[in-house]
Amino acid sequence: MSERLPARLRALASELTRLREQAGLTTRQAAARAGISIATVNRTENAKRIPSVADVATLLAIYGVVGAERKRILAMVEEVNSPGWMETSPRLTHLLKALTDFESEAGSIVNFAPSVVPGLLQTHAYASAIMATGRATPTAQQALVEARMDRQRILTKLAPPRYTAILDEAVFRRAYGGSAVMAEQIRWLADRAKLPNISVRVIPFKHGGYLNPGHFSMLAFSRTPTMVFVEHHGSSGFLDEPEDILMFQDVTARLIEVSLGSADSVNFLARMAADFERS
């Protein structure tokens, strides 16, 4: 098992890289303006060093980052070496930004979903129905849906990650948006499962009971350690301790064992879609 690489440090590295690029600066230019070495900037952006608050504050000033965004990023620096990274509402938007970055960098992603279709596989109508159950304003709901649709591009980009969705049958029994929306959603899932990098596995009710860890995503990378994103109502976050990763790797293997194979899962989806189309 690789040694721990803090989730906050990795997220901070991605954010500083993005902000520098948005400012139109090379690492050499940023280093010169900050009065630090190019190696220091590169190692910071590659999560190879824990930067000081002073260094990051200087870089943020150069990049034109002020106000709440500056305060948020400096808070990340102060907490960068804390184990894991859990947040409660309304700060979950900070986590979602990091999750989007990590998903775009991952070589493989495994999602387990016990009750709803994972965000990376939701249709627009289904995502809208999910958002409508929350407390956000209609405008905020629409923004969240569009952000979710944008995240899905990683599955069809050049060199996409290997993606496995493990879904409990309960996901397809609760009709978010009604029968027509569910039929469309399930047909979409079956179509996604035909892509070479995507596998959809269903755990049917007839299997009986099994260890249900709740909704999680396990993200594996080519050069950095695996991390897990756990998602629960009002409290979500990243786990980056080696023992936690080992536990979720074991859980994933057990979930795969009790799920239908890819072909049988697609056949299951076809039957479910037909049931909704008849209702």
Could you report the average pLDDT of every consecutive run of 10 residues in the chain (279 residues)?
76 93 96 94 92 94 94 89 74 77 94 96 96 86 91 94 97 95 97 96 95 95 92 84 94 96 96 93
pTM assigned to the model: 0.85
For residue 196, tell me if it sits in a domain. yes
Q: What is the pLDDT of residue 232?
A: 81
Helix (H, G, I), strand (E, B) or coil at 83: coil
Same domain as 32, residue 140: no
Q: Which residues make Cβ contacts (< 8 Å) with residue 246, sequence separation at least 6?
A: 1
For residue 1, tell me if it sits in a domain. no
Same domain as 69, residue 172: no
Same domain as 93, residue 74: no
CA distance 240 to 7: 6
CATH number of the domain that residue 94 is part of: 3.30.870
Identify the H or E element spanning 34.
Answer: helix 27-34
For residue 171, tell me if it sits in a domain. yes
Same domain as 177, residue 151: yes
Same domain as 124, residue 204: yes
Same domain as 126, residue 50: no
Q: Which residue range(s) make up the domain with 36?
A: 7-78
- 8 A C-beta contact, residue 38 and residue 13: no
Split into its structural domains, the chain has a count of 2
- List beta partners, residue 168: 203
Q: What is the pLDDT of residue 1?
A: 42
Q: What is the pLDDT of residue 136?
A: 80
Q: Which residues make Cβ contacts (< 8 Å) with residue 142, sequence separation at least 6?
A: 128, 131
Same domain as 20, residue 106: no
Q: Which residue has the tokens 């999560």?
A: 47
Q: What is the pLDDT of residue 208?
A: 92
For residue 2, tell me if it sits in a domain. no
- 8 A C-beta contact, residue 84 and residue 239: yes
CA distance 92 to 253: 28
* Per-residue pLDDT tens over the stretch 221-240: 998 899 999 988 777 899 98
CA distance 144 to 122: 12
Same domain as 259, residue 128: yes
What are the Cα distances from residue 240, in Å, to 8, 96, 118, 141?
10, 16, 21, 30
DSSP-derived letter for residue 110 is E
- 8 A C-beta contact, residue 114 and residue 215: yes
Q: What is the pLDDT of residue 93?
A: 67
Q: How many residues does the chain have?
A: 279
Identify the H or E element spanning 181.
Answer: helix 179-192
Same domain as 131, residue 102: yes
Which domain-ending residue is among 60, 78, 96? Answer: 78
Strands 198-203 and 162-168: parallel
